[in-house]
Structure 1
Amino acid sequence: MKNHQNIIAALILILAIAGCKKYEQFPVDKVGIDKIFDSKDSAGVNAQHYLYGIYSVMKNGHNRVGGDYLDAASDDAISSASGPSNVATILSTASYNSYTVPTDENLWGTYYAGIRQANEFVNNIDVVPVLAQYNGKSQKFVWKAEARFLRAYFYFELIKRYGGVPLMGDKVLTITDDVSLPRNSFDGCVKYIVSECDAIQGSLYAYPLTNPASPEADSHRATKGAAMALKAKVLLYAASPLFNGGNIDGSNPLTGYASADAGRWAAAAAACKDVMDLGKYALLDNYKDVFITQYNPEILFFRQVGNNNSIETANGPIGFTGATGKGQTSPTQQLVDAFPMNNGLPITDAASGYDVNNPYANRDPRLTYNVIYNGAQWLNTSIQTYEGGQSKPNGVLQQTKTGYYMRKFMGNFETTGTYSSHSADWIILRYADMVLGYAEAQNEAAGATPEVYNALISIRKRAGLAAGTGSLYGLKAGMTKEEMRATIQNERRIEFAFEESRYWDIRRWKIAENLMNQPRTGISITKVGTSLNYNQVNVLATRFVSPKMYLYPIPYDEVQKNPNMKQNPGW
């Protein structure tokens, strides 16, 4: 796959091209936009490198918040770091009172820089006479649609953090322009993103990429399916309680809607179903292979990273020679307990077969694919996370704080002696999200209909659960809307663990204030002879101070320099 360069690298390339000319055609220290969008560049080489730079604005979620996964700021994990961590400050009262969000999560400037780059591209690409064609038109129109998709994606990342934000349209402001822009309403931002996704669908590549010469080389590019999925995701957020009737500031249009509207759920369901009905995407048979198999039919859109073993070296269990792991991510007991038994029944169900003295036996296979626990197979070894065990020796060495290590995203290293490179791309949108998004939205709009059951069953069937009575895969028959809601929320938790889903889900569902005011727990296992004793322990006290924390504060300097920039409530 292509090694995409950021915009600086693109400009360096252009300088190099200019330097190859016999005579200097322009001052090489002042590369103008006309050299990037060159009316004589029939291949569009420079323009395409500029587009790659816009793609590079997207974040790689692997250990991105000061070395931690964002999920370590949810109830699913904690950081194993011994000192203060960036991810922990997301829930710090002192930090929030001083308008501080961790640098790696304070992305206002990052995404507006990306929006500006996208606008530069949209405004200038038309002059480039690209000869290559797609669907009978110059390929530059595909590129233009990609830039608009990325711009819409950046706006989505902004509104889920801040609520309504200033919409720039196609404008590229200069130093002489009035930049004191007000925030647009949340609804206005949602409508803009949706309209952009609708407008560009017909211009983007379609999956599978059969026309481009090298489909895998172009697999990172935004497609029609990606645009449809982004639209569905935005509508799902807009329909969720935080914005749809649970507005933290009543009728404040910047922070959501004044009242709930079930029609928003219906719109989200329809958008998810549109993606499903394309017939182009599907659940991959093996859940764990989704994250290490490039160009598979479950991936709708991803941030290209390449091949490496950095996930293992950062998060793998300690205690191995020649296979270094730092155990950076410690999954919580709450997450482990969320996985049902392999018959689909929750471990709290008396009929599930759960054994407190053998707690990891006969569980949902996704537990093994997401979490490394005591006795799990890894690197040709039976993992020891009991007190004093190989991977939990205690002392000063960084190691698990909860008795668990993260397994998600790693290669198939259960029976090997060392780590090797594999795909480490960061998946942003995948088909399973459309299926569960449809189940959630349809349930809220119409109740636990057969269509909702079927969507949930397809996820559980792929996971490897037993069909059981009535082929319901452990689901209770005849659930109420409320029962199905709880079931879907739990299914999202275990299906999308560590994918930056749980952190945002508990906010859009407006349940973070309850969950994050409970201590996060782990397991302390003591070995006595050949017997193991399991004891749950509190590992981190957390606090969700007030409803204002559902939205980030607008960066302090933005409010200070712009009198029209209204701050979020409570800040």
Structure 2
Amino acid sequence: MKNFIQLSAIILLLTACEDVLSPATENIRGLDAMYKEPGFAQGILGNAYILLPYSASPNTDVATDDAVSNNIDNNFLRMATGSWSAIDDPTSQWQGRKNAIQYLNIFLANADQVAWANDEVIRMLFNDRLKGEAYGLRALQMYHLLLAHGGWTQDGRLMGVSIVNDPETPTSDFNKPRNTFQECIDQIIADADRALELLPLDYKKFTDAEVPAKYANVEGLGATQYERVNGEHMRGRISGRIVEAIRAQVALLAASPAYSEGTNMTWEEAAGYAAQVLNRIGGVSGLAPNGGTWYTKDSGIEQLASGQTPAEIIWRSDIGQSLELERDNFPPSLFGNGRVNPTQNLVDAFPMINGYPISNPSSDYDPNNPYANRDPRLAKYIVLNESQQGPGSDVIITGTYGTKNDVINREKGFSTRTGYYLRKLLRSDVNPNGEFNTTQKHYTARIRYTEIFLAYAEAANEAWGPTGAGGNAYSAYDVIRAIRQRAGITGGDGYLESIKSDQILMRQMIRNERRLELCFENHRFRDIRRWKVSLNELNETARGIQVSKPGNTVIYTPINVESRNYQQHMFYGPIPYGEITKWSALQQNEGW
């Protein structure tokens, strides 16, 4: 994908004038130039890939109860503490998603006229696949617009954004009202369905029997021709499998409490869309054994071929050599800035190794030895006091008895504010020391199978209860049991067994498992809003732990770190203020 985008950019540069010495009028070419130049046409589609809405950093997590930032200038810190407005919205997706949709609309309006190849069969195959990509990407871009800007208006309607399916020009009417949320969901599903008609499930090697039936009567079309256009050299681009996962995400959003009263999406449908993705890997048996630590060296990242995905990943970014995440988040003694500080709130959400929440009398939790016998994910995801960032590194002491800047609140802008540092997403074999600057391979997990498993569990529990399967081969209970077994919960998981007939307690567990499994991957901010938790929960104070050691006694003292200041209307994001002032037909979400 990286090579494709770079090549497209070069082609656009080289074709920007008729020849080197005689530039075209104003050095601007008309869109009709794409008809004879497939590279030019693919460059337009490539812009929608460049504008994908994913982040490798846990930006929004520091605006939730899972983390804080030690950077006082952090936009999300300011948002969480009271500065979020329609003028100042760091979560806005308005411009980027709309730009991407405009490129996709231009591409779709012109793709049929592009000479993708001289051979008519190959031309048809290219046209089908590339249009399928465009439809799938448009569904994705619209989904992220709804996440950021869908909401209830003052007149009591659940609204989405304006649906635009044609290229806009200087003479277009930009003063368009918002479509309803349901109309936007319908549009996304329609785009996804159209994409699935045109895309291969995966880019791979094909046999003649695997060529889609719709091409059965096309003379001269066999596995060789189909693979030329849809072979594994195209891995990394959006595929049918990825579109199915996006559709499952959309259905879960629409069925969630914050939106369900304004849509007709049911929990049964949401579970069905997720099951369609999971059944392709054998259901629960397909849960990747090391899926919880997909970012580490031991996950097999070093062996991944171009565009190849491991068992846990449905879609990922390119792999690149970097150290930015580690430089941002390692403790100061390891040449990091310690930016993202996990909270005590999140630490307390990890159960004991026997599966019981630490608040349950059967958990055997010891507040004087709080990290003993805990869910193994706690130590895998968070650097605790007197633990190591990685094998062979120095012990990190965040307690007040430490001698380095790793100590809580020791040095403003570098030291932890909560008593914890981030481990998840980071590679311990990176060295940000300026003398070495040792980089390692990283990628962004855009969509993980674990996310879809948890989406299924949530929807299935609401539709059929903890152990109901609705005709599928597995239930919410089955999914959660498998995820917790993978995590290392031992002893038969007595707590899970005790609640498997209680829908409300199972709901709480599913939400907590989602919190743990997807922490620091930019899910929590939207999850607690689509669940429509209480305003008190939305504003739960971010807490930390101060560890002191007078003599030989270790004392753990909970501390309040950062208050949250969200208002009732902030379960939904705003339409940007500048757009509201420009276009009279646009209606703002209530409260903004």
Q: Decide whether aligned partners of structure 1 residues 512 and 100 sit closer, same or farther in structure 2, where only a CA change above 3 A counts.
A: farther
Q: Decide whether aligned partners of structure 1 residues 325 and 414 sit closer, same or farther in structure 2, where only a CA change above 3 A counts.
A: closer
Q: For the residues of structure 1 that align with 2:93 and 2:200, how far apart are their CA atoms?
A: 29
Q: Decide whether aligned partners of structure 1 residues 373 and 481 sit closer, same or farther in structure 2, where only a CA change above 3 A counts.
A: same
What residue is the counterpart of 1:560 in the other structure? 581
- The match for 1:392 among 386, 407, 414 is 407
What residue is the counterpart of 2:326 in the other structure? 312
What residue is the counterpart of 2:39 in the other structure? 45
What residue is the counterpart of 1:443 in the other structure? 461
Query: How far did residue 437 of structure 1 move?
Result: 0.7
SS at match of 2:363: coil
Q: Which stretch has the larger CA shift, 297-306 or 131-140? A: 131-140
What residue is the counterpart of 1:551 in the other structure? 572
- The match for 1:463 among 458, 483, 487 is 487
What residue is the counterpart of 2:97 in the other structure? 111
CA contact (8 A) 1:506 1:512 kept: no
1:2 aligns with 2:11: no
CA contact (8 A) 2:430 2:440 kept: no
SS at match of 1:476: helix
How does 1:44-83 map onto structure 2 within 5 Å?
44-63=38-57, 69-81=59-71, 83=72
SS at match of 1:334: helix
For residues 47-97 of structure 1, give each alpha carbon's deviation from its aligned partner in whole angstroms, at most 9, with x where no partner exists.
22332221111134233xxxx62110111001111x34210232354543x
- The match for 1:190 among 185, 188, 198 is 185
Q: For the residues of structure 2 that align with 1:332 and 1:319, how far apart are their CA atoms?
A: 20
- The match for 2:244 among 218, 224, 228 is 228
Larger relative contact order (Cα-Cα within 8 Å, sequence gap ≥ 6): 2
How does 1:57-456 map onto structure 2 within 5 Å?
57-63=51-57, 69-81=59-71, 83-96=72-85, 99-102=86-89, 104-131=90-117, 137-163=124-150, 164-207=159-202, 209-210=204-205, 218-245=234-261, 256-257=262-263, 264-279=266-281, 282-292=286-296, 293=301, 295-304=309-318, 306-320=320-334, 324-379=335-390, 380=392, 381-389=394-402, 390=404, 391-392=406-407, 394-396=410-412, 398-413=414-429, 420-449=438-467, 451-456=475-480
Q: For the residues of structure 1 that align with 2:252 and 2:282, how far apart are their CA atoms?
A: 21
Q: Decide whether aligned partners of structure 1 residues 382 and 20 sit closer, same or farther in structure 2, where only a CA change above 3 A counts.
A: farther
SS at match of 2:419: coil
Query: How far did residue 142 of structure 1 move?
Result: 1.2
For residues 255-314 of structure 1, give each alpha carbon's deviation from its aligned partner in whole angstroms, at most 9, with x where no partner exists.
x34xxx7x6111101110111112279432213542353511221223446231211111
Aligned length: 537
Q: Decide whether aligned partners of structure 1 residues 513 and 184 sit closer, same or farther in structure 2, where only a CA change above 3 A counts.
A: same
SS at match of 1:462: helix
Query: How far did residue 385 of structure 1 move?
Result: 1.1
Q: For the residues of structure 2 that align with 1:15 and 1:205, how far apart are their CA atoms?
A: 31
For residues 401-423 of structure 1, give each alpha carbon's deviation from its aligned partner in whole angstroms, at most 9, with x where no partner exists.
00011111112449999874334
Query: How far did residue 474 of structure 1 move?
Result: 4.6
Q: Decide whether aligned partners of structure 1 residues 93 and 539 sit closer, same or farther in structure 2, where only a CA change above 3 A counts.
A: closer
Q: For the residues of structure 1 that align with 2:310 and 2:120, how far apart are their CA atoms?
A: 25
In the superposition, the TM-score normalised over structure 1's length comes to: 0.87
What residue is the counterpart of 2:155 in the other structure? none
Q: Which stretch has the larger CA shift, 409-418 or 153-162? A: 409-418
1:31 aligns with 2:47: no
Query: How far did residue 542 of structure 1 move?
Result: 1.1
Q: For the residues of structure 1 that align with 2:554 and 2:120, how far apart are their CA atoms?
A: 65
Q: Decide whether aligned partners of structure 1 residues 518 and 25 sit closer, same or farther in structure 2, where only a CA change above 3 A counts.
A: closer
Q: For the residues of structure 2 that align with 1:217 and 1:326, how far apart are their CA atoms?
A: 39
- The match for 2:556 among 523, 526, 534 is 534
Q: For the residues of structure 1 that align with 2:103 and 2:431, how far apart are their CA atoms?
A: 46
Q: Decide whether aligned partners of structure 1 residues 4 and 343 sit closer, same or farther in structure 2, where only a CA change above 3 A counts.
A: farther
Q: For the residues of structure 2 that align with 1:343 and 1:133, how far apart are their CA atoms?
A: 62
Query: How far did residue 5 of structure 1 move?
Result: 3.6
Q: For the residues of structure 2 that align with 1:301 and 1:346, how far apart are their CA atoms?
A: 33
For residues 498-537 of structure 1, give each alpha carbon's deviation from its aligned partner in whole angstroms, at most 9, with x where no partner exists.
1111111100001151213231100101123343211110
Q: Decide whether aligned partners of structure 1 residues 415 and 423 sit closer, same or farther in structure 2, where only a CA change above 3 A counts.
A: closer
Q: For the residues of structure 2 that align with 1:223 and 1:34, how far apart are their CA atoms?
A: 28
Q: Structure 1 or 2: larger helix share?
A: 2
Query: What stretches of structure 2 of length at least 5 have no aligned partner?
Result: 151-158, 207-226, 469-474
Q: For the residues of structure 1 that align with 2:233 and 2:77, how far apart are their CA atoms?
A: 38
For residues 199-233 of structure 1, give each alpha carbon's deviation from its aligned partner in whole angstroms, at most 9, with x where no partner exists.
21132232363356897764321111111111111
Q: Percent of aligned pairs with the same residue?
A: 31
Query: What stretches of structure 1 of length at least 5 have no aligned partner?
Result: 246-255
Q: For the residues of structure 2 that align with 1:311 and 1:278, how far apart are their CA atoms?
A: 33
In the superposition, the TM-score normalised over structure 2's length comes to: 0.84
For residues 91-140 of structure 1, give each alpha carbon's deviation from its aligned partner in whole angstroms, at most 9, with x where no partner exists.
354543xx2233x4222111111110111111112222223999995223
Query: How far did residue 27 of structure 1 move?
Result: 4.1
CA contact (8 A) 2:69 2:341 kept: yes
- Counterpart AA for 1:88: L
Q: For the residues of structure 1 that align with 2:165 and 2:467, how far apart are their CA atoms?
A: 43
For residues 412-449 of structure 1, give each alpha carbon's deviation from its aligned partner in whole angstroms, at most 9, with x where no partner exists.
44999987433432222211111111111011111111
Q: For the residues of structure 1 that align with 2:489 and 2:344, how far apart are their CA atoms?
A: 21
Query: How far did residue 457 of structure 1 move?
Result: 1.2
- Counterpart AA for 1:176: T
Q: Decide whether aligned partners of structure 1 residues 375 and 5 sit closer, same or farther in structure 2, where only a CA change above 3 A counts.
A: same
Q: Decide whether aligned partners of structure 1 residues 378 and 349 sit closer, same or farther in structure 2, where only a CA change above 3 A counts.
A: same
- Counterpart AA for 1:61: S
CA contact (8 A) 1:372 1:404 kept: yes
Q: Which stretch has the larger CA shift, 424-433 or 408-417? A: 408-417
Q: Which stretch has the larger CA shift, 515-524 or 127-136? A: 127-136
